[in-house]
Amino acid sequence: MSATDIMQFIGIASLLIGSLAVIFGALGLLRLGDVYQRMHGAGIVDTGGAGLILFGLLMLSPDWTVTVRLILIGFILVMTGPTATHAIARAVRLSDQEPDNLKAKKNSERGRG
């Protein structure tokens, strides 16, 4: 087993794990109950999915120019993804929407803890 085979194996494994992470993140985006909770699903797509898939492609890249471009895409996604999510969270907060669990806690006087 040569070094190329090992890198290919790592790349394929990380591609498959990354696609699993993307599916779970999108499922969370669809199924969770609240904008703040759905942001968690979008975060999984942006970090786990994009990171693992780009790392897998990096392991499979045939050429150094491809490697440079993949690193650039990863850098752009890492810089812009959290910024966009933070801007959305701030916009939701400024529009006076409370998270669902806080709303439930405020509404119930007894407070089950």
Partner 1 sequence: MEIALAMTLIALGIAATLAIIRATLGPTSFDRVLAVNAVGSIAVLLIAVYGFFDGRPAFLDIAMLYALINFIGTIAILKFFRFGTLGDHVLHEDEEDA
Write out the residues near partner 1 by the rule CB under 8 A. Answer: 8, 11-12, 15-16, 18-20, 22-23, 25-27, 29-30, 35, 38-39, 41-42, 45-46, 49-50, 53-54, 56-57, 60, 62-63, 65-66, 69-70, 72-73, 76-77, 80-81, 83-85, 87-88, 91-92, 94-95, 97
What three-state secondary structure class fits 34?
coil
Residue 42 to residue 37: CA distance in whole angstroms: 9
CB 25 within 8 A of CB 48: yes
CB atoms within 10 A of CB 58: 18
16 vs 108, which CB is nearer to partner 1?
16
- Min dist. Cβ of residue 18 to partner 1 (A): 7
Token readout for 20 is: 């699993």
Please report the sign of the dihedral spanned by the C-alpha atoms of residue 102, residue 103, residue 109, residue 113.
Answer: negative
65 vs 109, which CB is nearer to partner 1?
65
Question: Which residues contact residue 78 at a Cβ distance below 8 angstroms, ignoring those fewer than 6 apart?
Answer: none
80 vs 101, which CB is nearer to partner 1?
80
72 vs 104, which CB is nearer to partner 1?
72
- Min dist. Cβ of residue 102 to partner 1 (A): 16
